[in-house]
Amino acid sequence: MIAQLSGTQQSIVLVINEEEPLMSKFADIKGFVFDLDGVIADTSVYHSQAWHQLADELGVAWSEELADNLKGVSRMDSLNLILKTGGKENDYTEAEKVAYAAKKNTNYLNLLKGMDKTAILPGIEDFLADLAKHGYRLSLASASKNSPLVLEQLGLAHYFEARVDPATLKHGKPDPEIFARGAEVLGLKPEECAGVEDAKVGIQSINGASETSIGIGDPAILTGADVNFTSTSELTLANLKAALA
């Protein structure tokens, strides 16, 4: 179902999934479990720059196609893809590859030092402030080990009372483990939480954890989300209440 909410300045279109019943009504939700990249901030540009630096060092030509192919891929798999692109996949030992992957992460961390509030996606800081004002509890469910640094750089860390440590996880998305843990670290039941994601595997993870799934992005891609907003700027308590009431 497509529901249109009319505001004073704009009309917002929400896509509500009717294939399965909504996990929770708005009044049942006590906490929110957030993904980071693509939901709170766009850190992909920093990953791309760090890989670009390493590709230059390795003598591999950089392209937008290569950059796109690295999105959502693990660090070692990304390195192997770069080497394969340059015909250098057999030029390095595993130990050397591990060292280069670590160097990429160092490049990434150095780039993050220049990140500020301008990297926060539209409407997100206001949404977090509104959630805090109304007593909702927030946790972070990001697979990135650098997520605490990112939140500190953005000045948003104080909104989150808990974080899932990715080093303790046995399974990645779309397995529900990370979002189930996101509710657990808040001391809440899954049905008392809503998860916010911009990736299809993330929505699958939230649904698998029996939490209300909120998708950010193209509803044709994020099929299965209980509620979908095409942009973070549309993510407000008022819009959620209208969609889940």
Residue type at 44 in one-letter notation: S
* Backbone φ, ψ for residue 214 (5° rounding): -115, 115
The catalytic residue positions are 35, 37
CB 160 within 8 A of CB 138: yes
Kindly tell me the burial class for residue 174, based on how many C-beta atoms sit within 10 Å of its own C-beta (0-12, 13-18, 19 or more): middle
Helix, coil or strand: residue 190? helix
Judged by DSSP in three states, 11 sits in strand
DSSP string covering 71-95, please? TT--HHHHHHHHHHHTT-TTSS-HH
Q: List binding-site positions for substrate.
A: 35-37, 51, 70-75, 78, 104, 142-146, 173
Answer for the pair 153, 112: CB distance below 8 angstroms, yes or no: yes
Binding residues for Mg(2+): 35, 37, 197-198
Residues of each annotated binding site: 35-37, 51, 70-75, 78, 104, 142-146, 173, 197-198
Strand 11-16 and strand 227-229: pairing? antiparallel
